[in-house]
Amino acid sequence: MDVFPSTGPHLHIVLNHFPLIGSVFVLGLLIASAYMKNDDMRRVSLILFVVLGLLAIPTYITGAAAGWAYQGRPDMSAQILDAHRDAALLAFTFIGLTGVASWLVLWRERRYARTSNAGFIAVLVLGFVSLLTIIETGSLGGTVIRPELREGAMAEPMGLTAGIETAIQSIIWAWPSMEAVHFVGMAVLFGVVLLVGLRVLGVARSVPYSAVHRLLPLGALALLVNIVTGMFFFIADSGRYVAMDGFPPKIMWLMVGGLAIIYFTIFDDIWDVKSDEDAPARAKVMAALTMFSWAAVLIFGRLLPYYGEGG
């Protein structure tokens, strides 16, 4: 099938607009919400930052696929590609941190019913840093796709991505250690998803939803651990991963599962479920979707080693 190798450059050109335009829009919305003292607008801003953080994953992955498509071309400088790759990793890191911070603020405010000024400031600062790194990444990306900009372009790679790749491939215990951490993270994440989802579907009805809600940060931490270790795997062997038929569906279901978690974090209809009460139909549909999506991530992830060198 080779989804990423054949369509990576085109998908990347589409996806990379979301972090840039989205960050500008959401930062403006967040600042406006503070000026207008509008809590709903502020909440929407934080949700959108979480969505942007999730969208950064396929954006980065399709960027790697695009890099492999351009690599080796006589009119392409390896130095420019490496510099763009390093800048993209920094941008991915900061927009991901912004998404994590935004989710934590949303969870804390919903859990304790009070706003967090420190959290707001942290999200604002991370959002600005993310925007700066995205602009730099986009500038370097422009020199990749536009030949007229390459002439005389000064791009010095930091060696960040290459350093991570070399370290993982040269340290004998690096890969198995990350595999162990990745498996534990997935087990914790899927366990939290099952506990929350089954409660919503009617199992253990004597437990109010607010009681299982406190497990969500544990699941979010496990997701963060898996994203970090997963990206290390990807950086160390990106050429093989982008050629695997099972890799695109894993990423697609990961996006669905990540977006579904937002519903269980903040929406009032699920929060209103008390002891011995049945959850609304919409909540049950979301619970089933969340469990199915993370089961799909788990299955496709375990199948990846069997794809060998790719589809």
pLDDT (0 to 100) of residue 311: 43
Per-residue confidence (pLDDT) for residue 1, from 0 to 100: 45
Q: Are the CB atoms for 93 and 136 separated by under 8 Å?
A: no
Residues 285 and 198: their CA atoms lie apart, in Å, by: 12
Two structure tokens written together for 193: 């998803």
pLDDT tens digit at each of 311 positions of the chain: 455 545 667 788 888 888 889 999 999 999 999 999 898 899 999 999 999 999 999 998 888 887 777 676 666 666 777 788 888 888 999 999 999 999 999 988 877 777 778 888 999 999 999 999 999 888 877 676 665 555 555 556 667 788 888 889 889 999 999 999 999 999 999 999 999 889 888 888 888 877 887 888 898 899 999 999 999 999 888 888 877 878 889 999 999 998 888 888 877 777 777 787 888 888 889 899 999 999 999 999 888 877 655 44
Dihedrals phi, psi of 172, to nearest 5 degrees: -60, -30
Give the per-residue pLDDT at 49.
Answer: 95
Among residues 290, 135, 160, 140, the alpha carbon closest in space to that of 235 is found at 160
Query: Residue 144 has what pLDDT?
Result: 64
What is the rounded (10 degree) CA torsion for 169, 77, 61, 146?
180
Looking at residue 177, what is its pLDDT? 94
Count the Cβ atoms, other than its own, within 10 Å of residue 21. 12
d(CA 202, CA 280): 10
| Residue 211, pLDDT score | 80
| Residue keyed to tokens 């109010």 | 208
- pLDDT at residue 147 in the model: 56
Q: How big, in percent rounded to 5, are the helix, strand and coil portions of the chain? A: 80, 0, 20
DSSP 307: G
The Cα–Cα gap between 223 and 288 comes to: 19
Amino acid at 170: S
Contact 293, 223 (CB under 8 A): no
For residue 202, report the phi and psi dihedrals to the nearest 5 degrees.
115, -5
Burial of 201 (C-beta count, 10 Å sphere; 0-12/13-18/19+): middle
